[in-house]
């Protein structure tokens, strides 16, 4: 099917064949006018597609506040800078000595408020749901798996802030690669001294 026989819904961005006048997803026509009587129906399932289990249907979204997602890359960058600045103290003989400047201390405090507190309350919410609903073991697994993915950017944020997606996931990649880079850097410095 070629692109000329398709149109994109101006409201939700869904692609449609030219023979359809109204978006099946949101009820808008090709000019963006939305039908007020439109209601979303249950999608038709394939024969081999399993129906949703009650756990899937009732699973709440454990999403962090938007400010938390925007706070994570600078916080991780601060962590890398602090680690790099203190790495020589870690390699020195004797007990490790870490030092934070007053600015770094304030930034860590802000990071704790913007990242740590929402994460804590999200985990408390999962535990409360598990206590109140008394889910079975597969439902508990589903809750905690979704909790593990709470750092995944929400779809709405990925669509509206496309520039932020590589910055966000790149900051996690930098943290994962940083120990190897630090070890190589200080290994080279030890060799040349």
Q: Quote the pLDDT of residue 168.
A: 92
pLDDT at 163: 92
On whether the CB atoms of residues 42 and 49 are closer than 8 A, the answer is no
pLDDT at 57: 43
Compute the distance between CA of residue 92 and CA of residue 190 in angstroms, rounded to an integer: 12
Going from the first residue of the chain to its last (193 residues), give the mean pLDDT of each consecutive group of 10, the final group possibly shorter.
Answer: 70 80 80 73 53 48 84 89 70 61 85 89 81 76 77 86 92 88 79 75
Report which of 42, 33, 40 is spatially closest to residue 11, judged by C-alpha positions. 33
Chain-centroid distance of CA 153 in Å reads: 3
Give the pLDDT score at 56: 44
Segments making up each domain of the chain, as ranges: 1-41, 54-192
Q: Please report the pLDDT score of residue 30 as a whole number.
A: 79
State the Cα–Cα distance between residues 7 and 10, nearest whole angstrom: 9
Largest CA distance in the chain: 76
Q: How many CB atoms lie within 10 A of CB 168?
A: 20
Question: Which helix (DSSP H) or strand (DSSP E) does residue 8 occupy?
Answer: strand 6-8
Element holding 15 (H helix, E strand): strand 15-17
């Amino acid at each position: 099917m070629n692109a000329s026989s398709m149109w994109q819904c101006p409201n939700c961005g869904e692609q449609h064949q030219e023979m359809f006048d109204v978006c099946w997803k949101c009820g808008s026509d090709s000019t963006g006018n939305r039908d007020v009587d439109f209601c979303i129906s249950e999608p038709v399932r394939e024969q081999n597609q399993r129906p949703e289990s009650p756990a899937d249907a009732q699973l709440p979204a454990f999403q962090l506040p938007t400010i938390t997602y925007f706070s994570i890359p600078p916080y991780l960058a601060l962590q890398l800078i602090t680690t790099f600045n203190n790495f020589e103290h870690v390699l020195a003989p004797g007990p490790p000595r870490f030092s934070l400047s007053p600015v770094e201390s304030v930034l860590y405090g802000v990071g704790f408020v913007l990242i740590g507190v929402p994460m804590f309350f999200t985990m408390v919410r999962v535990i409360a749901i598990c206590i109140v609903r008394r889910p079975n073991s597969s439902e508990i697994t589903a809750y905690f798996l979704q909790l593990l993915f709470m750092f995944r950017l929400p779809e709405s944020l990925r669509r509206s802030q496309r520039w932020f997606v590589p910055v966000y996931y790149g900051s996690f990649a930098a943290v994962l690669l940083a120990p190897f880079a630090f070890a190589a850097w200080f290994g080279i410095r030890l060799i040349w001294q």
